[in-house]
Amino acid sequence: AQKITQTQPGMFVQEKEAVTLDCTYDTSDPSYGLFWYKQPSSGEMIFLIYQGSYDQQNATEGRYSLNFQKARKSANLVISASQLGDSAMYFCAMREEEDFNKFYFGSGTKLNVKP
C-alpha cells in the first residue's frame, strides 16, 4: 500500500483565494511526522511545514496551515491568499518513528495560481 497518497495531480486557484491540497497517509506507527515541501519550476525543494502525530494543534507557518485529521489519516495543506509565486509542485511526506531512516513522499500536486 502507498504510504502517502496525493490524489490531485493538478489544481488551479485564483490569485488571493485559498486552496487545499490533499494528502492521506498510511501507517500503524503511533509516532510519526508529516511534512510538506514546495518545488517551484526552478527545481529546488523547499520545506514548508511540519506536523507531529502527537501535536495537539494544527501546524501553521505564515500563509500555510495544515489541516490534520488523525482519525482520517489526512494532512491537507491549506494555502491562504494564494500568490502567483505559489505556482509549484507540492509534495507531502511522512517519517515514522519505527523506521526513521526513511521518508515517504507522495506523487505531488501541481498548483497553478491564475491572475
Partner 1 sequence: DSGVTQTPKHLITATGQRVTLRCSPRSGDLSVYWYQQSLDQGLQFLIHYYNGEERAKGNILERFSAQQFPDLHSELNLSSLELGDSALYFCASSVHRQTKGTQYFGPGTRLLVL
Question: Interface residues with partner 1 (CB under 8 A)?
Answer: 31-33, 35, 37, 43-47, 50, 52-53, 91, 93, 95-97, 99-108
Residue nearer to partner 1 on the CB measure, 38 or 82? 38
The minimum distance between CB 108 and partner 1, in angstroms, equals 5
Residue nearer to partner 1 on the CB measure, 1 or 115? 1
The minimum distance between CB 80 and partner 1, in angstroms, equals 22
The minimum distance between CB 94 and partner 1, in angstroms, equals 9
55 grid coordinates: 501535536
54 grid coordinates: 502527537
The minimum distance between CB 93 and partner 1, in angstroms, equals 8
Residue nearer to partner 1 on the CB measure, 32 or 68? 32
Residue nearer to partner 1 on the CB measure, 10 or 16? 10
CA distance linking residue 111 with residue 85, whole number of Å: 10
The partner residues of 49 in beta bridges, in order of sequence, read: 36
